[in-house]
């Protein structure tokens, strides 16, 4: 059983900020910025890659709701919404979740995409052939 299933079942405490029939949203224990929240479906599924359309829809709608809630209540100016799928991408809890990370003017969080010498034409060809 995953850690997040234990949170759903109430075995492990969490700082819940939003809940409905399908999802639970609670503060991430490591706050990337103040208000960093995780949205998880109550139905168990490993990641975004395995989630059903219904689960994806419920999590997506809740993510927008929570993003607006965090912006309103905490005075954030924007959000990053991301989901890590599989260990190579940094996933550590294998119950689908979306990070909603409020962004503030002059906060110090950075996501950088470094330039690489990849052949973009070849990559495009591989994906679309
Ligand atoms: P990921 O690395 O995308 O799988 O995200 C898992 C997230 O769960 C990490 O950002 C952790 O900080 C967070 N986390 C781990 N344990 C807890 C917990 N008990 N309550 C809240 N968040 C947690």
Asked whether the beta carbons of 77 and 85 are under 8 A apart, the reply is no
Ligand 1 test: best mutation among 28, 36, 46, 109, most atoms within 8 Å of CB?
28
Q: Which fold has domain 3-128?
A: HIT family, subunit A (3.30.428)
* pLDDT digits (tens), the chain, 129 positions: 999 999 999 999 999 999 999 999 999 999 999 999 999 999 999 999 999 999 999 999 999 999 999 999 999 999 999 999 999 999 999 999 999 999 999 999 998 888 777 899 999 999 999
CA of 105 to the centre of ligand 1 (A): 25
Question: Tell me, what's the pLDDT at 51?
Answer: 98
Give the H or E element holding residue 103.
strand 98-103
Ligand 1 test: best mutation among 1, 38, 40, 88, most atoms within 8 Å of CB?
38
Question: Tell me, what's the pLDDT at 113?
Answer: 82
Q: Within 6 Å (CB) of ligand 1, which residues are found?
A: 3, 12, 14, 28-30, 38, 84, 90-93
Q: Give the list of residues 6+ apart from residue 16 with CB closer than 8 angstroms, or none.
A: 24, 25, 26
User: Quick one: how far is CA 6 from the chain centroid?
Assistant: 18
**What residue spans define the domains of the chain?**
3-128
Question: Tell me, what's the pLDDT at 70?
Answer: 98
User: Quick one: how far is CA 54 from the chain centroid?
Assistant: 17
Question: Tell me, what's the pLDDT at 50?
Answer: 98
């Amino acid at each position: 059983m995953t850690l997040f299933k234990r949170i759903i079942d109430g075995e492990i405490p969490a700082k819940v900020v939003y809940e409905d029939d399908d999802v639970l949203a609670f503060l991430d224990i490591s706050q990337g910025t103040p208000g960093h929240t995780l949205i998880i479906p109550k139905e168990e599924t490993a990641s975004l890659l395995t989630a059903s359309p219904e689960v994806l829809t419920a999590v997506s709608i809740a993510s927008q709701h929570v993003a607006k809630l965090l912006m309103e209540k905490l005075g954030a100016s924007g959000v990053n919404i991301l989901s890590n799928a599989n260990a190579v991408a940094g996933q550590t809890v294998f119950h689908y979740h979306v990070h909603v990370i409020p962004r503030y003017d002059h906060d110090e969080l950075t996501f950088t995409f470094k330039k690489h010498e990849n052949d973009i034409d070849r990559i495009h060809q591989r994906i679309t052939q």
